[in-house]
Every structure is written in structure tokens, then in C-alpha cells.
Amino acid sequence: MRVAIAGAGKVGRSIALELLENGHEVLLIDKDPAAIKVESVPKAEWLLADACEISSLEEAGLHRCNVVIAASGDDKVNLVVSLLAKTEYGVPRVVARVNHPKNEWLFNEAWGVDVAVSTPRLLSALVEEAVTVGDLVRLLRFSHGDANLVELTLPADAELVGSRVGDVPWPPDTALVTIIREGRVVVPTKDDPLEAGDELLFVTSPDRERELENLLSPYHSAG
């Protein structure tokens, strides 16, 4: 898979290293000469250019990319890159970094964004996840289909502890995609039992989040 990353700062370089380790082709783009640190990610391709300009994106060969990641520290830049990637080059998957939570509402399909990643939200979610059990934590917002990736740690006294995944009346527009149990990733089947302390990751529509939280709370009656 070929991935272009606009923004070669610490975030962009970290993403590039991870993708390269997983066998992907990576192109890092930045207009700041000080950001072009080839020695830091030697296996990546590098391009000194303004990712907000069509001529730069032509040079980058964006039409050959499967994914574009707008990872700069400027939300305006990330929105422009996302829009150009989607509308001018038809990139199948556009992921954009949100630097300021107040701008999060802009990062949607209208701007070409498939997945918006809010760094402050992720950091606060990790803090919340470390100190709360039984509370729903929103991790990511997907613009297509108006869905969120949410996490909830199942309390020991929840009614649904011991229930099989397939027997739980999950809310509509909700899918249990992963169970993290004792550091292991479990792909759930209908026969898997829910255990106390399970970290449950769901993709759900925003208007079903409260219903999901209530279902998994200690006060819900499974009968």
C-alpha cells in the first residue's frame, strides 16, 4: 500500500516509521526544509514541497496513493490537503489530524476526510480510560456513516458479565469489533463470553452511545 503523509514533523515521522515496519510504501511531504530529516526515516521517500498546491501533489503522484494522511500541526493545511486528495485525485482513504478540538466539526466528508483523529481527544480518552470503568470513551469519529469508535471497560458487577456475545441485544447500528482481554486482542464470535474487565471496542452511531453505555452498566437488567 502506498501512503502519502503531509507533514513531516514528529507525528508524521512516527506514523511513517510504523507504516514502513508494516511493509508499506511511504512518502513524506513538507514545505519546511528543517523538517526534511531523511536520516530519521531513511526508508521513506521525501519531498520538499507545499502539500496545499496542486503542482506539489502532482509531483508526489497522489493519484497512485491508497491513503493520504494530513498530519501537519495546522488544521487549515490538513483540511486543504484532505479536500484536494479526495476531490482532485480520488484517494480512497483520507485520514486527517485535528490539532484543535474546536475545529473538529469541520473534519468531515464535505472536506474529503474519511477519518478524523483528534490528538487532544485521544490523549484525554487515554487518561479517562485509565481511571474509569463502565464509562463510554469516544476514541475516533468516522465521517462516513456518521459513526464513532468507542471503548467501554466492562465492570465486574455488570449484569452482562458471563453472557455470550451473540445473546446480547446490542443496540441497532452498533458492532462489537474487538475485545481486549489481559493484553490480548480477541476478535469476538457469537459464542465468546463477556468477562469482567474486558475492554470492548464498538463502532456505533452517536445517537446509540447512551443506549450502549446503559446496556453495559452495572444497573442494567439482562432479564
Residue 221: predicted pLDDT: 45
Strand order across the 137-142 sheet: 45-48, 25-30, 2-6, 67-70, 93-98, 115-118, 137-142, 147-153, 199-204, 174-181, 184-186
Task: Give the residue-averaged pLDDT of 110-133.
Answer: 68
Q: Which residues pair with 149 in a beta bridge?
A: 140, 203
Mean pLDDT of the chain: 87
Residue 121: predicted pLDDT: 62
Does 161 lie in the same domain as 109? no
Q: What is the pLDDT of residues 72-115, one digit of tens each?
A: 999 999 999 999 999 999 999 999 999 988 898 999 999 999 98
Residue 135: predicted pLDDT: 64
Does 17 lie in the same domain as 73? yes
Does 114 lie in the same domain as 6? yes
Q: Is 126 part of any domain?
A: no
Q: Is 185 part of any domain?
A: yes
What Rg value do the Cα atoms of the chain yield, rounded?
A: 20
Residue 16: predicted pLDDT: 94
Residue 136: predicted pLDDT: 67
Letter for the amino acid at 155?
A: P
Does 148 lie in the same domain as 103? no
Does 145 lie in the same domain as 76? no
Domain count, the chain: 2
Sorting pLDDT into bands at 50, 70 and 90, what band is 223? very low
Q: Is 204 part of any domain?
A: yes
Q: Is 36 part of any domain?
A: yes
- Choosing from 67, 95, 118, the residue where a domain stops is 118
Q: How far apart are CA 20 and CA 40, in angstroms?
A: 12
Q: Is 192 part of any domain?
A: yes
Calculate what percentage of the chain has a pLDDT beyond 90: 58
Does 86 lie in the same domain as 21? yes
- Domain enclosing residue 197, as ranges: 132-215
Please check the confidence at residue 222 and state whether its pLDDT lies above 70: no
Task: For residue 162, give the CATH number of its domain.
Answer: 3.30.70.1450
Does 100 lie in the same domain as 160? no
Please check the confidence at residue 219 and state whether its pLDDT lies above 80: no
| Dihedral sign of CA atoms 78, 113, 13, 178 in order | positive
Does 55 lie in the same domain as 97? yes
Q: Is 208 part of any domain?
A: yes
Does 181 lie in the same domain as 136? yes
Sorting pLDDT into bands at 50, 70 and 90, what band is 64? very high
- Choosing from 118, 152, 187, the residue where a domain stops is 118
Residue 184: predicted pLDDT: 82
Does 105 lie in the same domain as 210? no
Does 209 lie in the same domain as 175? yes
- Choosing from 55, 90, 118, the residue where a domain stops is 118
Q: Is 207 part of any domain?
A: yes
Residue 44: predicted pLDDT: 96
Task: For residue 79, give the CATH number of its domain.
Answer: 3.40.50.720
